[in-house]
Amino acid sequence: MKVTADRTRCMAAGHCAVTAPDVFDQADDGLVTVTDPTPPDPARADVLLAERLCPSRAVTVHDA
Amino acid sequence: MTVDTALLPSYPQDRKCPYQPSPGYQELGGEGPLHRVRLFDGKWLWLVTGHSQGRRLLADPRMSADRSRADFPVVLPRFEAPIFKPLALIGFDPPTHSVHRRLLAPDFSLKHVRALRADVTALAHRLIDRITAKGAPADLLNDYALPIPSMVVSELLGVPYDDHEFFEARTVDLLQAKSPEGAEAAGQALWDYLDRLITAKERDAADDGVISRLASRVDGVDLTRDDLLRIALALLIGGHDTTSQMIAMGVVTLLEHPDQLDLLLADADLVPAAVDELLRVVSVTDVSGVRVALEDIEIDGYTVRKGEGVLVSSSMTNRDPEVYPDPYRVDVRRTAGSASRQHMTFGFGIHQCLGQNLARMELEVAFTVLFERLPTLRLAVPRADLAFRKGGTMQGVHTLPVAW
């Protein structure tokens, strides 16, 4: 599983950082940063939920 | 196409129960995801009650939020007021909208919200101290539910809290206005107030919150002084009225579901998801978003034509049985963890509420401290005597007399 986040789409809703805090965070500008781009399998459900919750479609999970 | 609007159901409709959508909306929700409804001016728009359809339409770049467009739907007479036409954070499309959101993102980040929590908790305790010192009955709206978000937003923006009676009253006048003239007068009073405040901050080179920080960023290109005024107005209005009414309506809902209140109080870990369940149920603004289609859009067998208006109902998308089994039931254990965040009360797409995490924190603190300190809290009047706001969009109660 590979995770990317598009900072040009991010609106700083923060759902990803709340849902999968080991994978996403908010940088000092409030926008998303991916802290673990290849999270382990047990994180899959949370990462997929983060993708679903993102209102601006900034989070993408590849090879899900 | 021409639609005979005379036979369509009307929008908006008053609720019969303060935390459940009108029987008319419930009926529509049972019939499908999109419905034509008639507005006050005889025009019509699509009322969206399907969760999936609402999400997709609000995230679709072919839907415009630009309230200055001639074809943008006017849902209520007050929205004819010029003050509502260029409404920052709600009524602009990219790229302007994106510039505004990015300017504000640091102030509403999770880190910043978490840092405010201790102060908000102390504030809630001070307000309860004052309530108990005065003795029962108290008006929970004006003694607790309103001062919490009002003080928080004052502090955050750098607006003097001493002026709270003014800005709270003008906000109600604006959001509850029956006519465009009434809305414009209230909006203009707030505009002039903020204009004077910004002038003073510019003169003093103040460094006391979001407004002074943004004032230093005004460059006449990416951010004009009018943009700053529009943003300050949107934050001041959006920062206190809905949150205060959500606290009040949440308390009414919890008092009528004592089993759910007990669950919430027994398990601190449950509080965030319980707050989202209350946000889902109460749907305090009852509008997830209003848009106009820039192109023909096909969605699940429906065609939203270019120029047609769309209004996504939060109360009904929040009761889509495909997402929420037994959707009319209040169930604080409905969804574990942040799956509870998929309700539409804060909207969806790039306009989803900027202050949602601040609001969640204020609600968590407000409910927890209130019932911790006053575990025997009850209404001081029969529920039938509570006076709720009419008009079907911004929900609320005029006063909330309680005893303990």
Q: What kind and span of H or E run contains A17?
A: helix A15-19
Using CA atoms, how far residue B231 sits from A14, B88, B90, B390, in Å, is 21, 5, 10, 27
| Disruptive mutation site among A53, A54, A59, A60 for chain B (greatest number of B CBs within 10 Å) | A53
Substitution target from B52, B114, B352 for chain A, most A beta carbons within 10 A: B352
Q: Please check whether residue A43 touches B, CB under 8 A.
A: no
Tell me if B341 and A12 make a contact (CB, 8 A cut-off).
no
Name B36's bridge partners. Answer: B46
How many structural domains is chain B composed of? Answer: 1
- Nearest to B355, CA basis, from B345, B363, B346, B367: B346
Burial of A48 (0-12, 13-18, 19+ CB in 10 A): middle
Q: How near does any CA of chain A get to the CA of B106, in Å? A: 4
Contact B109 A30 (CB under 8 A): yes
* Cβ–Cβ gap B59/A56 under 8 Å: yes
Identify the pLDDT of residue B107: 96
**Residue B1, pLDDT score:** 61
Which residue, B270, B380, B290, B327, is CA-closest to B73?
B290
pLDDT value at residue B257? 98
Q: Which chain B residue is nearest to residue A16, measuring alpha carbons?
A: B338
pLDDT digits (tens, 9 = 90+) for B195-213: 999 999 999 999 999 999 9
pLDDT for B183 = 95
Residues of B in contact with A52 (CB under 8 A): 342
Shortest CA gap A16–chain B (Å): 9
CA distance linking residue B238 with residue B234, whole number of Å = 6
Which uninterrupted H or E stretch holds B356? helix B356-373
SS3 B300: coil
Strands B401-403 and B138-139: antiparallel
CA dist., res. B305 & res. B97, Å (int): 24
Residue A64 has pLDDT above 80, yes or no: no
Q: B-chain residues within 8 Å CB-CB of A58?
A: none
pLDDT score recorded for residue B201:
96
pLDDT at residue number B86: 87
| Residue A59, beta-bridge partner list | A5
Calculate the alpha carbon distances from B92 to A13, B231, B232, B351, B353 in Å. 18, 11, 15, 9, 14
Indicate the class that CATH gives domain A2-56: alpha beta
B208 residue type, one letter = D
What CATH number is given to the structural domain containing B104?
1.10.630.10
CA B8, CA B41: separation in Å to the nearest integer? 13
Interface residues of chain B, partner chain A, Cβ below 8 Å: 58-59, 98, 101-102, 104-111, 337-339, 341-342, 347-350, 352, 354, 356-357
CA separation (Å) from B44 to A22, B37, B40, B379? 47, 5, 9, 40
Residue of A nearest to B54 (CA): A55
pLDDT at B391: 76
Q: B271 to chain A: which residues are within 8 Å by CB?
A: none
Give the residue extent of every domain in chain A. 2-56
* ipTM score assigned to the predicted complex: 0.97
**pLDDT (0 to 100) of residue B196:** 98
- Average confidence (pLDDT) per 10 residues, chain B, 404 residues: 85 95 96 97 96 98 96 94 91 95 96 97 98 98 98 98 97 94 96 97 94 94 94 95 97 97 94 97 96 98 98 98 97 92 98 98 98 97 94 89 98
Chain B residue with minimum CA distance to A49: B339
